[in-house]
Amino acid sequence: MNYEAIIVGAIVGVAAGWLVRRWVAAAKRRKEGGCAGDCGCSAKLKPKK
């Protein structure tokens, strides 16, 4: 078994998975009315209905 290919595949896979998870989380945050920025802040300025 080519261990080098497995390690490289795992690193690339983790990087891609992390990026996708991050973008999904940002989209979810935006949908909930949170800050659309990349700053990770929890600014939420939607007044009560």
CB 33 within 8 A of CB 46: yes
Q: How many residues bind another protein (CB under 8 A)?
A: 28
CB of 1 to another protein, least distance (A): 14
CB of 46 to another protein, least distance (A): 5
Candidates 10, 19, 24, 25; binder of another protein (CB under 8 A) is 19
CB 35 within 8 A of CB 41: yes
Under rule CB under 8 A, residue 37 binds another protein: yes
- Residue 13: both structure tokens together: 């896979």
